[in-house]
Amino acid sequence: MLGVLELNKAYLSTLVSFCMLTSICMTEANDITNISTPQIQSSAKNDHLKKEEREIMIKSYAYDTKIIEDNIRSVRSNTSQDNIQKVAFLTFDDGPSTTNTPKILDVLKAYNVKATFFILGEQLNNDSCKAVLKRMYNEGHAIGNHTFCHDYKYLYPNRYANANHIIKDLKKNESVMKEVLGEDFHCSVVRLPGGFASWKNTKALKEPFKECHVNYVDWNVLNGDAEGYRKNKEQLIARFNQTFKEQDIVVVLMHDTYGKESTVEALPYIIEKLQSKGYNFGILN
């Protein structure tokens, strides 16, 4: 069982190796010169936080993704032991959008809660979306990699994970984010479109992920905002309550892209519910 202290210890040791290894991965990423990426507009200013400043800022609430993923895969239900520190990770996929992501950031700010955003590179095709990315970075949220294209046929032909395509696409996404957040930016956390557990042959990703110093994470709770028909706030809350079983570690899957207005509306309830059950909020690193 992992309390905050143990997790933070693990995080610190990972941070040391992360700092040592980032330069290697950056070299690899820089070698991909044949990938075309949208160019940042000249009006975008280099006003993001420095890497060192951000690392100090997030230190107390950033957790090692691998430890969290290992924990949620073990299908653990509530132990309600007093010495267990419960941690919740709010995660948002497919953004940033200029409609819902800023509203989600406003809600998070009002509750002083941090979250993890899994960025879809295709969304970063204009200055407004790039500014939203910069805002989430500067406000201390985690930036995850959700691939550039989100194209199941390209990433998982016949449902088999294609490691070459996936790594190439993740690097393409990261290079777009580097244009906004600086060359020293590195995405250490990945969420595969559709989830890691949904595809065949994902073992082929083990070594490439290691080489790129990334870890994946799925989820163990969701609000259902990407399941079937469009849901209203009450339906999202009902789906959250159905999947939330007071697990010690909670990773909530949500979406902040266009059309997800109900997700914004349901978010205060989800935060308040988790707070009332004694959860702290963390980000994935």
Q: Is the dihedral of CA 24, 25, 27, 28 positive or negative?
A: positive
Least distance between Zn ion and beta carbon 146 (Å):
6
* CA atoms of 44 and 167, how far apart (whole Å): 27
By beta-carbon proximity to Zn ion, the closer residue of 123 and 188 is: 123
* 93 annotated active-site: yes
Binding residues vs Zn ion (CB under 5 A): 93-94, 193
Please give the structure tokens belonging to residue 146. Answer: 């959700």
By beta-carbon proximity to Zn ion, the closer residue of 119 and 237 is: 119
Query: Rounded to 10 degrees, what is the CA torsion of 269, 274, 275, 280?
Result: -140
Least distance between Zn ion and beta carbon 182 (Å):
25
Cross-strand bridge partners of residue 253: 91, 222
Q: What are phi and psi of 63, to 5 degrees?
A: -120, 155
Least distance between Zn ion and beta carbon 244 (Å):
21
* 82 annotated active-site: no
Which candidate in 146, 150, 255, 256 is catalytic? 255
Which candidate in 64, 93, 94, 256 is catalytic? 93
Least distance between Zn ion and beta carbon 257 (Å):
8
Q: How many CB atoms lie within 10 A of CB 232?
A: 12
Residue 182: alpha-carbon gap to chain centroid: 18
CB-based closest residue to Zn ion: 93
By beta-carbon proximity to Zn ion, the closer residue of 144 and 193 is: 193
By beta-carbon proximity to Zn ion, the closer residue of 7 and 120 is: 120
Residues marked active site are found at 93, 255
